[in-house]
Amino acid sequence: MLSQVFLYKIAVLVLWRKRDRAEYRVGSMPMIASRGADRPDGVDHALSDRGLHDMLGRRLHAARRRSLRQGGLSRSGMRQAMDPKGVPIWIEYAKLIISMSTPIVTGIVGYLVLQLGFGIEKNKQLNQELVKKRLAFYDAVAPDLNRLFCFYQVVGDWSDLDPAKIIEMTRRIDKNFYVYRFIFSDKIFETYIEFSRGYFEPYAGAGLPARLRLDVHYVKRQMGSKFDEAWLPNVARAPGDHGEQSALYRRLMTDLGRTITGPSTVSTTG
């Protein structure tokens, strides 16, 4: 279809240029309008000269029509080509260029829109996978963090726990945070480090586990006779504050929840 339109436009332009050249030749012919002494018979020949000019114009017009008809143009196309007051030639060239460039521009715009859609879909899939990983991490650490909190606050199922079990849970929590730290923001890992320092005294000695920073007076009062004195070697010399430890736990869990349900922000530092 595009090639047919293109050939049609070219044919119109060629015939139009031929018409312009023919009109120029006819228009440049001198008019013979001599009178009296200019002619031996003294007869006014202006009318006959004008008639000659009109006759040549009619023949040229008929020749153009035959050429256009042989070129396969429709009646509207012939009228447009035969119109002596037609639009300038550069407008026809502009129309031709626009008609040829429209499908190219449409194709480029369609390609860009398609690539944009692919990019959005890819980012969506990556974010979905990231949220799944974060949810799996939360499911792994949240129960142990909650049991740790319960033992220090002497609430919930604290009676099922002891310092040995607390140390075991802490090792699991540490491992998960260090393995998955890079799918979270730096703020999450910093909050966990602050939490860990509030609950434990690290570096108790070579080959020794971290000691629990229990608020001993508070824990003994809450546990009563169920407090085991054998736990004291596992308790840090510098006791913790159960109120501060509660605030650290809530801050860590709140930040984790916001990170999982909010915008995806991946750490880019080691």
pLDDT digits (tens, 9 = 90+) for 129-164: 888 889 999 999 999 999 999 999 999 999 999 999
Same domain, 150 and 47: no
Residue 95 domain flag? no
Q: What average pLDDT score do residues 29-56 get? A: 48
| Total tally of structural domains belonging to the chain | 2
Where residue 127 falls among pLDDT bands split at 50, 70, 90? confident
Contact 123, 264 (CB under 8 A): no
β-partners of residue 42 are 36
Same domain, 125 and 255: yes
Same domain, 250 and 139: yes
Same domain, 160 and 38: no
Q: Determine the pLDDT at residue 154.
A: 95
Same domain, 59 and 123: no
Same domain, 71 and 146: no
Q: Determine the pLDDT at residue 51.
A: 59
Q: How high is the mean pLDDT of the chain?
A: 74
Q: What average pLDDT score do residues 207-218 get? A: 88
Same domain, 80 and 160: no
Checking DSSP bridges between strand 200-201 and strand 211-212, what pairing results, if any? Answer: antiparallel
Domain hosting 165: range is: 119-261
Whether residue 109 has pLDDT greater than 70:
yes
Whether residue 28 has pLDDT greater than 60:
no
Q: Determine the pLDDT at residue 268.
A: 37
β-partners of residue 212 are 200, 235
Least confident of 41-50, 115-124, 146-155: 41-50
Q: 170-179 long-range CB contacts below 8 Å, 24 or more apart?
A: 170/144, 170/196, 170/199, 170/200, 170/210, 172/140, 172/141, 172/144, 173/141, 173/144, 173/145, 173/148, 176/137, 176/140, 176/141, 177/141
Same domain, 128 and 173: yes
Q: Which of the listed residues 40, 67, 86 is the one where a domain comes to its end?
A: 86
Burial classification of residue 221, based on how many CB atoms lie within 10 Å of its CB (0-12 exposed, 13-18 middle, 19 or more buried) = exposed
Residue 251 domain flag? yes
Same domain, 244 and 125: yes
Residue 104 domain flag? no
First vs last C-alpha separation in the chain: 61
Least confident of 23-27, 144-148, 187-191: 23-27
Residue 269 domain flag? no
Same domain, 63 and 169: no
Q: Determine the pLDDT at residue 253.
A: 94
Buried b (16+ CB within 10 A) or exposed e, 170-190: beebeebbeebbebbbeebbe
3-state secondary structure of 19: helix
Whether residue 232 has pLDDT greater than 80:
yes
Same domain, 37 and 124: no
Same domain, 152 and 229: yes
Q: What average pLDDT score do residues 34-48 get? A: 46
Q: Which of the listed residues 37, 68, 86 is the one where a domain comes to its end?
A: 86
pLDDT above 90 as % of the chain: 37
Whether residue 257 has pLDDT greater than 80:
yes
Contact 165, 143 (CB under 8 A): no
What distance in Å separates the CA atoms of residue 36 and residue 197, rounded to the nearest whole number?
A: 128
Retrieve residue 95's tokens: 């129309």
Residue 140 domain flag? yes
pTM across the whole model? 0.55
| Residues 6+ away with beta carbon under 8 Å from 174 | 196
Highest mean pLDDT among 43-57, 78-92, 232-246: 232-246
